[in-house]
Amino acid sequence: MKKEEARRIKVAHFSDLHFSIGNLLEAGGCFHHAVSVAISEGVDVAIISGDLTDHKQDAHSAALHKLMQEIRRLADHCPVLILQGTFLHDYPGMLAIYRFAGGKYPVETVDKIGQVALMGTQWRFAAPGDSLDGVRLLVSCVPTVNKSDLVSSVGVEHVAQAMGDVLAGLMQGVFAPQNLAARAAGVPTITVGHGTVSGSLTEHGVPMAGKDHEFSLGGLYAAQSTATMLGHIHRHQSWEREIERFTQRVAYPGSIGRFHYGEEGKKGFLIWSIGPRSCDFEFHETPARVMVDFLFDGKPDMDWLEQQSASCVGSFVRVRYSVDAELAATVDKQAIEQVLAEAAEVRIEPKLLVSQRQRCSGISTLPTLAEKVEKWCESTENEAASVVGRVQQLATRDAKSIAANLIKEIINEAQRVSRERRDDDGHALDRFEGPELGIAGGAGLAQ
């Protein structure tokens, strides 16, 4: 047990920083806070599991400058390991520049599958079967894998499945033997990956079902590392398994800040404590912005919005509503902004419902209303015989006489049906009269 305690290592795990000019305040503030906490907690190592930037950044971008400053602060405190995230975010080749952040300790970047060992305070790439002498920590890395490499070998239709199989095979076949050796030698082990675990939940609460994802929990556990640190999904979540006093944990810290409306849950990062046979982590919340979503089915209810305004001070508020296109102009967007004037941002997103119209060519050239209605009936599959008559009634008679006429029609129809049944069945349906239809007083209206 003493040996286990002696070999424990404290690791800060950050992910999905998404630095960009648009995200600068959020990413900058949250990551600065996280780095400060990690330093004051005295972590031995820092790992960033991908998506450091939101997209390709110019070398002189203020966002990249701020990110490099924070990596430098980390590297002045401990060794740093950075994993390739989604290519759209960590643009191919961008990772290499983080090594030049400077600092007392090395910053290593990994964009290929493989293992990295921490010797003292230096990172070394490790091959299967390498000696574990002097190794403080063994990290198996599964960065974003280029799917196009797989397409050529297995064909497009098998790529999704093949990806999972290839990675699971890799973890079990290549990483596991070295991790088991490390466990026997008392060396803590980590797997770092960027991708989706089947069955995980997105930040919007959507379960990622199916098998076309990079990772399965079983595949990750099969790597036999103690801690599995993941990036890609922006919602914090974790899993654990204990077999024969060997505890494995898998966790996403989630994104460092809140970058989109509708993202649920707290934002933060993890500080792990990892031994050769067990691990644990603590979630540390970052001061991510508060984003509020209001959704109206129809025009926004201004009185209700006014009641909410006090709780929206300093928040990012999105107001969404769906109205008929004809009514769009009647929604006063300025009034919404005024009601929520103390919010940090108000985003108004109308959804216009466009009514479906069917063309009825030639209708405008017909001389009389009756003919127009008849044409309309044809193209909308209505019964012209009854509709045209009704339209003529509308034009020539008053409401009371139209109603009386209708009631008379209904009674006549009911009596006709009743007579027919009597003829058919040979006996009377004695209660099938006017009053049964709820129009007892109707006769009084008849002319």
Q: Which of the stretches 15-23, 215-223, 298-306, 408-416 binds Mn ion when contact is defined by CB under 5 A? A: 15-23
Q: Which is nearer to Mn ion, 86 or 238 (CB)?
A: 86
Query: What's the closest the beta carbon of residue 89 comes to Mn ion, in angstroms?
Result: 6
Q: Which is nearer to Mn ion, 23 or 224 (CB)?
A: 23
Query: What's the closest the beta carbon of residue 267 comes to Mn ion, in angstroms?
Result: 12
Using CB under 5 A as the binding rule, the residues of this chain from 380 to 439 that contact Mn ion are none
CB environment 384-404: b (16+ within 10 A), e (fewer): eeebbeebeeeeeeeeeeeeb
Query: What's the closest the beta carbon of residue 18 comes to Mn ion, in angstroms?
Result: 6
Q: Which of the stretches 8-16, 35-43, 211-219, 423-431 binds Mn ion when contact is defined by CB under 5 A? A: 8-16
Q: Which is nearer to Mn ion, 262 or 441 (CB)?
A: 262
Q: Which is nearer to Mn ion, 137 or 230 (CB)?
A: 230
SS3 247: strand
Asked if 182 and 189 count as a contact pair (C-beta separation under 8 A), the reply is yes
Using CB under 5 A as the binding rule, the residues of this chain from 41 to 100 that contact Mn ion are 51
Q: Which of the stretches 9-17, 104-112, 152-160, 261-269 binds Mn ion when contact is defined by CB under 5 A? A: 9-17
State the number of binding residues for Mn ion (CB under 5 A).
Answer: 2
Among 9, 11, 12, 16, binds Mn ion (CB under 5 A): 16
Query: What's the closest the beta carbon of residue 143 comes to Mn ion, in angstroms?
Result: 13
| Strands 189-194, 246-252: pairing kind | unpaired
Q: Which is nearer to Mn ion, 252 or 281 (CB)?
A: 252
Query: What's the closest the beta carbon of residue 259 comes to Mn ion, in angstroms?
Result: 8
The Cα 176–Cα 225 span in angstroms is: 7
Q: Which is nearer to Mn ion, 202 or 247 (CB)?
A: 202
Catalogue the E-assigned strands of 287-417.
291-297, 316-324, 345-353
Asked if 188 and 9 count as a contact pair (C-beta separation under 8 A), the reply is yes
Question: Tokens 């000019």 sit at which residue?
Answer: 21
The Cα 131–Cα 178 span in angstroms is: 10
Q: Which of the stretches 11-19, 55-63, 118-126, 258-266 binds Mn ion when contact is defined by CB under 5 A? A: 11-19
Query: What's the closest the beta carbon of residue 144 comes to Mn ion, in angstroms?
Result: 10
Query: What's the closest the beta carbon of residue 194 comes to Mn ion, in angstroms?
Result: 8
Query: What's the closest the beta carbon of residue 85 comes to Mn ion, in angstroms?
Result: 6
Query: What's the closest the beta carbon of residue 83 comes to Mn ion, in angstroms?
Result: 12
The Cα 69–Cα 78 span in angstroms is: 14
Q: Which of the stretches 10-18, 111-119, 243-251, 261-269 binds Mn ion when contact is defined by CB under 5 A? A: 10-18
The Cα 384–Cα 371 span in angstroms is: 10
Residue 224 CB partners (closer than 8 Å, separation 6+): 175, 176, 179, 180, 183, 189
Q: Which residue is nearest to Mn ion (CB)?
A: 51
The Cα 47–Cα 248 span in angstroms is: 18
SS3 115: strand
User: How far is the CA of 240 from the CAs of 229, 235, 332, 407, in angstroms?
Assistant: 12, 17, 51, 72
Q: Which is nearer to Mn ion, 10 or 289 (CB)?
A: 289
Instruction: Identify which of 175, 269, 268, 267 has the alpha carbon closest to the alpha carbon of residue 226.
Output: 175
**Site residues, Mn ion (CB under 5 A):** 16, 51
